Structures are given as C-alpha cells and as structure tokens.
C-alpha cells in the first residue's frame, strides 16, 4: 500500500465508504435518512441528511453505536379517542312560569324534589301546585256560562226541554216553544222570562283540559271522563281536590294556581325572599337526573352525534358509560374570542373560540354513586385496534428509497453484526404517541432505536 492509500484508510471514514470510493465508477454508499415523525402528520416527514458518515481513530470496520434510546416492539391495543372536559350536574336551570300575583309566603329548599301534586311555592298563603305536561297553564279552567240562545249537548235549549203545548196551543211553562206568542199567533211583547230562570253552564273544551284532567285522575280523583271537555263532573272532582289543598271549593282552577313540567323536578334555587312580590321568576328547577354539560368547540363536534356512546371519568377515578342526548344548534362566542375580534385579531378568531352545548346523560344513575356535581372528563373512542404491533411514533424512519422503516438494535446499541439494520414497515393507526406497524421482518419484542 502506498502512502496516499494508507492515509485514506486511517482518516476516519468507514470501510464501506473506502470501497465505494476506490472502485472504478463506484458510488458512495449512503444510509437512510433519520427524522422524528409527528404524531398526527406522518406525511410531513422530510429528509434530514445522510447517515453513516462518522468515524473514529481506529481501523475497526464497524460503525460506533448511534445515539438515542432503544425500545421494544410491543403488542397492545391502540385507541384513537377524543377527550374533553365537562361538568357533572343536573342540567340547565329553568324558571317556573308563574302567573299568580301576590306576596311570596313560602319557598322550597334548594336541592329538594317536587313531584306531581306538590307545591313549589305559596303565594298569599295559597299553594302553587306542580302538574305534569307540556302545555302551559294559559287560562282558568272551569264551566262557561251559556250565551243567549245557546243549545245544550242534546241540541235543544232549556225552553225546548221544559215547554210543551196544550190542546189549545198554550204552553205549560214560560220557557216553552210557544212562549212569546199570543193565541192569535202574533208576537207577545209582554212576555217575560220565568222568575226562576238561571244562567246555564256549558263545558269548556281544549287540549289543556285533557292535560289537567289526566293529572287530576293520576292524583286519585275520579267521577269524570278524561277528555277535552271540562264538565260538571270535572268541576265536582276539582272541588274535592281544592278541599284537600285547603282552598275555596269553587270548581274552577285559576291559571296562577298550577305550573307544569315534564316530570318530577329538582328545585335549583330561588331568586326572591319570602315576603317579596311574586313577580318575575322566583323559583328555578332542573332535572332530577344527573347529566354532563360540555361547551364543545363549535368546529370540533363531529364526535358528538346524538346517541353516541361515550365514557365519563368521574372525580373519584371511576369511569361510567353515557350517551350524547343533545347537541346545541346555536354557537356562543367566548369572551376571549370577542376580545380577539375587538383587538383586531385575524379573521375567524371569534368563530374558532365559539362553543356549542353538548348534553350527556347516564342510563344508570346508580353508577354515579352519591356524587352530585363536579368536573369530569368525557372520552369518545373514534377507532380502536386490538392486538397489534406498535412502537413510539418517533421510532419511524423515512427510508431513502421511500416508505418508512425501523432501525433494529441489540443490547449494546448496534445491529446484528452490520453497521445498522433497517426494516421496512407498513403503518396503521396513530394513537397516544404510538403507531401500529406491520411487516414480514417485524416481530414482538424486537429492539428498535428511537433516534434523537
């Protein structure tokens, strides 16, 4: 070996590089490019440079071990999921639509449950009673006074039922069919109503009547038919109900004495003290069932479809299943979004900060234990891959010839006798900082390098 050749062999280059450089028409061998791969955007991996060009002060043909840590290919379940913070409670507060006027003389305690037939407050020492239904109490319910000449349910007026002509064409009663006519047939202008004539009542009709009667029947009062007609029989049952409530037995239900809700309610709070006027909304209520409310980003609600199954992590560390019940249709901009707009933030900044309300309910209320409120984490699993081989995303290497691979490593940080051993792999699900890998040369327990 001449002097120039001796200098080349000891200048720190690898043996492979020396062979490639000295061969006629030979190419310098370059290794694959190493780069850390982002968790979500694998396609953004770029070439960082050629590897394997280092050397030492020795004639040893092996390349020293590269930096980085070594991990094993593991077999596990990968889960791609969305996590978002929520608040456990009883849902939004709703005010009772009171129509009664007067002075508040009693209020319920917050957190108590009110059911059908129970009072939700007292005004002028008279109860305002909760009933179940969707229609509001918009009018008084009772019998109506018949208009002049109005017929009854049988199609005839009182006079037609009571009066009957005699053989001479006269009448047996002042209200008969012939009343108001003389024997000659001419109108009798002196005819007067019978002294005992009284205004006649007729039934009140409507869906609100049927709603009220169904509640009255559910409370145990009977003797009437549940339908859309408020009759004398209904009025009689109402008088019995009013007697039990300690109210005047009028047979008429005042619009201010009843409020409706879809079912039993939980008293959320009161906004007026006892002794104040009953104006406004002095009492609010919520559902008796516990639920989770989320202010989800308006631009990221694809996971929140109605009926979607989610998992809720409670403050005590337990996790319970739940279901998306509703997703708001109106977005509300947060204060930060509005402030950003006012300060001249980029277009769309207010929209990005907008949120919509998502309500999540539990099928099994008992699974929540005694916990009534608190912060929770809601998890939605978009995709899950069971029993797959996985490595940290950062272990992926972009190969010079295309695609991705893993760099094999043994205990001392080198390959299996060669400077490095790159194994091509296919990629699957990315989740939790790991990626699913597959390939003919990939096996569970295989040691691979995670480059720095």
Options 2.40.420.20, 3.40.50.1260, 3.40.630.10, 3.40.50.300; CATH for 31-80+382-452 is: 2.40.420.20
* Mean pLDDT to the nearest integer, 9-14: 36
Per residue in 323-345, pLDDT tens?
A: 999 998 888 876 444 444 444 44
What integer pLDDT is reported at residue 194 of this predicted model?
Answer: 53
Options 1.10.357.10, 3.50.30.50, 1.10.101.10, 3.20.20.80; CATH for 94-144+202-287 is: 1.10.101.10
What integer pLDDT is reported at residue 434 of this predicted model?
Answer: 93
Question: How many angstroms separate the CA atoms of 119 and 127, rounded?
Answer: 6
**Structure-block tokens of residue 20:** 């490639």
Domain ranges in the chain? 31-80+382-452, 94-144+202-287, 292-372
Question: How many angstroms separate the CA atoms of 434 and 393, rounded?
Answer: 5
Question: How many angstroms separate the CA atoms of 97 and 109, rounded?
Answer: 18
Question: How many angstroms separate the CA atoms of 265 and 44, rounded?
Answer: 54
Confidence class for position 150, pLDDT limits 50, 70, 90: low
Question: How many angstroms separate the CA atoms of 337 and 352, rounded?
Answer: 7
Per residue in 40-71, pLDDT tens?
A: 333 333 333 333 333 333 333 334 445 578 99
Q: Cα 272 vs. chain centroid, distance in angstroms?
A: 31
The torsion angles phi and psi of 440, rounded to 5 degrees, stand at -65, -30
What integer pLDDT is reported at residue 145 of this predicted model?
Answer: 82
The torsion angles phi and psi of 48, rounded to 5 degrees, stand at -100, -25
Confidence class for position 388, pLDDT limits 50, 70, 90: very high
- Among the ranges given (9-23, 180-194, 206-220, 307-321), the one the predictor scored with the smallest mean pLDDT: 9-23
Confidence class for position 409, pLDDT limits 50, 70, 90: confident
Answer yes or no: are the C-beta atoms of 246 and 265 closer than 8 Å: no
Per residue in 227-272, pLDDT tens?
A: 999 999 999 999 999 999 999 999 999 999 999 999 999 999 999 9
Answer yes or no: are the C-beta atoms of 379 and 394 closer than 8 Å: no
Question: How many angstroms separate the CA atoms of 255 and 100, rounded?
Answer: 7
**Predicted TM-score (pTM) above 0.75:** no
């Amino acid at each position: 070996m001449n002097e120039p050749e001796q200098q080349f062999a000891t200048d720190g280059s690898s043996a492979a590089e020396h062979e490639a450089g000295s061969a006629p028409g030979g190419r310098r061998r370059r290794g694959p490019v190493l780069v850390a791969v982002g968790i979500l955007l694998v396609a953004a991996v770029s070439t960082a440079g050629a590897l394997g060009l280092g050397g030492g002060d020795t004639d040893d043909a092996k390349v020293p071990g590269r930096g980085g840590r070594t991990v094993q290919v593991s077999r596990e379940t990968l889960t791609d999921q969305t996590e978002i913070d929520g608040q456990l409670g009883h849902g939004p507060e709703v005010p009772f639509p009171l129509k009664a006027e007067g002075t508040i003389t009693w209020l319920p305690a917050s957190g108590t449950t009110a059911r059908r037939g129970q009072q939700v407050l007292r005004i002028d020492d008279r109860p305002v009673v909760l009933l179940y239904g969707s229609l509001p109490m918009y009018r008084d319910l009772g019998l109506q006074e018949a208009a002049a000449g109005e017929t009854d349910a049988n199609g005839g007026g009182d006079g037609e039922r009571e009066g009957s002509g005699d053989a001479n064409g006269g009448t047996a009663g002042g209200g008969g069919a012939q009343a108001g006519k003389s024997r000659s047939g001419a109108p009798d202008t002196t005819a007067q109503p019978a002294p005992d004539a009284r205004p006649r009542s007729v039934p009140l009709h409507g869906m609100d009547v049927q709603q009220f009667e169904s509640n009255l029947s559910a409370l145990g009062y009977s003797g009437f038919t549940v339908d859309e007609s408020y009759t004398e029989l209904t009025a009689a049952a109402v008088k019995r109900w009013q007697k039990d409530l300690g109210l005047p037995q009028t047979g008429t239900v005042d619009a201010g004495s009843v409020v409706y809700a879809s079912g039993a309610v939980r008293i959320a709070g009161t906004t007026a003290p006892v002794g104040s006027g009953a104006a406004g909304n002095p009492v609010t209520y919520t559902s008796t069932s516990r639920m989770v409310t989320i202010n989800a980003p308006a631009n990221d609600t694809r996971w929140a479809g109605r009926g979607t199954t989610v998992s809720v992590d409670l403050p005590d560390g337990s996790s319970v299943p739940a279901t998306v019940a509703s997703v708001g249709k109106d977005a509300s901009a947060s204060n930060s979004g509005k402030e950003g707009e006012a300060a001249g933030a980029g277009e769309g900044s207010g929209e990005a900060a907008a949120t919509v309300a998502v309500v999540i309910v539990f099928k099994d209320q008992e699974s929540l234990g005694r916990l009534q409120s608190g912060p929770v984490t809601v998890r939605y699993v978009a995709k899950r891959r069971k029993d797959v081989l996985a490595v940290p995303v950062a272990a992926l290497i972009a190969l010079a010839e295309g695609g991705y691979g893993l760099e094999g490593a043994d205990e001392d940080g080198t390959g299996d006798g060669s400077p490095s051993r790159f194994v091509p792999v296919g990629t699957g699900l990315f989740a939790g900082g790991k990626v699913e890998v597959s390939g003919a040369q990939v096996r569970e327990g295989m040691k691979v390098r995670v480059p720095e």
